[in-house]
Every structure is written in structure tokens, then in C-alpha cells.
A and B are shown apart, each in its own frame.
Chain A
Amino acid sequence: EVQLVESGGVVVQPGGSLRLSCAASGFTFDDYTMHWVRQAPGKGLEWVSFITWDGGATYYADSVKGRFTISRDNSKNSLYLQMNSLRAEDTALYFCAKEGYIALSGSGRDSYYYYMDVWGKGTTVTVSS
């Protein structure tokens, strides 16, 4: 069974740090780009960050750039999110998600389409004094 299980969410004070983990199983972890997506209480989904299969490239939402660092350990089938300088607005349920893709041919070339096809149940981070 393909599965993602997040952990590490706790209550932390503003300005504090935290590391979230996501354990993957049931698929070849090091074949896929992985994402973090968060959801503040009662709000919609916000993409946070992604990391390519080999960790060679990472990207962040402007709201977390310079404060959060995504990483992975393919030998442990694990994804991480190091969160520093936490703010109240970082309070959210944090999901990890596996990226899927499909290549479609057209006009003499392939186009690649990406989506998030497997999600964990999430881990809750609360930033409060």
C-alpha cells in the first residue's frame, strides 16, 4: 500500500524551530519529487515547498522562503521540513504529498503534467506563546 505518514507537529513558541518528517512506503521513493502543503485552521490549501527526486533542486513559497528548508533522505525513504523563525501564521496542518506525472505527446514533442496523487494525513503545527 502506498502510504505517507507525517510526524513532528507540536506547539511551539513564536520564533522557535521545528522539524517535520514524512515517512514514505509502498513506492520507490527516490523516483519522485515530493511536496509539503499546509492548511491553516478553517482555510484552504497552500503549497509550501517541493524537492526533486535527488534533492538537487528545491523551491519554496514566498511566505516561507528563507525560514523553511526542505530535504530528503532517500536511504530512509523520508522527507523533512525544517521550520525556523516560526510565526503565528505558520499555524496549520502540514501535509506531505507525492508528485505524479504524465507525459502526453503533441505537436511533435512531449508535455509533462504534474499533480499530487498521494497525500499523508498531516501533522499539526501550532505557533503560540
Chain B
Amino acid sequence: DIQMTQSPSSLSASVGDRVTITCRASQTINNYLNWYQQKPGKAPKLLIYTASSLQSGVPSRFSGSGSGTDFTLTISSLQPEDFATYYCQQSYNLLSITFGQGTRLEIK
């Protein structure tokens, strides 16, 4: 299986901060990488697909980059509603889809 490792596991930041979350794959996955946001008690929400494409309706302060094994999710200016847990997910090996362990973004 392809292992997905996110860092950091948790992060404290303030409204207005620029935040970057990284995701590393255990082997190359080209740009078969998606990002999701999950708020407590809610379903995950697709933010980014193909590593850098913004899902319809997602604010432009979210962006993704990377290819191969290293990827980043950036929030350019944190808003109160952005405090949540973020997951990366590889779709390179569709027969064994894997997620990162999650990054919890908390209010400082």
C-alpha cells in the first residue's frame, strides 16, 4: 500500500495567518492527490483534486501544489470557519486508496 504521511499532525494558528500543511507519499503518485476538510461531527468535504485543482465552491484562499511524492495545502489567510482537520488522499492506486493521518488545525 502507498503510505501517506502528513505534517504536522496538529497546528495552532490565528485568523489571518498563512498556513501550509504537507503530505508525503511513500512512492511517486504523480499528481493523483486529493485534499479534504472535515469539521467535528461532519462528513469530509473535497477541497482540492489532482493536487492543485480547486473544487467548485471552495474559497480561493485554499490552494494545493506538488507532484511526485511531496504535496502542500496552503490556506492564504485563515478564516474562523477553516479550523478543522485536513486529510490528503492518494488516488494513484485505486485498488487500495489511502488517506493521510490528518492535520488538526486549531485556533491559537
Contact = CB atoms under 8 A, between A and B. Distances in A.
A114 B94 contact: yes
B95 A115 contact: no
Contact of B43 (A47, A104, A113, A121): A121
A115 B98 contact: no
Nearest to B48: A115
Name the residue in A62, A102, A117, A120 with the highest tally of chain B Cβ atoms < 10 Å from its Cβ.
A117
Interface stretch (B10-18, B20-28, B49-57, B72-80): B49-57
B32 A95 contact: no
Contact of B50 (A59, A104, A116, A121): A104
A45 B53 contact: no
A115 to B, nearest CB: 4
Interface string B83-108: 00001010100111111111000000
B99 A45 contact: yes
Contacts of B63: none
Interface in A66-115: 95, 100, 102, 104, 113-115
8 contacts: A44-B99, A45-B36, A45-B87, A100-B46, A102-B53, A115-B49, A119-B45, A122-B43
Interface of A: 35, 37, 44-47, 50, 59, 61-62, 95, 100, 102, 104, 113-117, 119-122
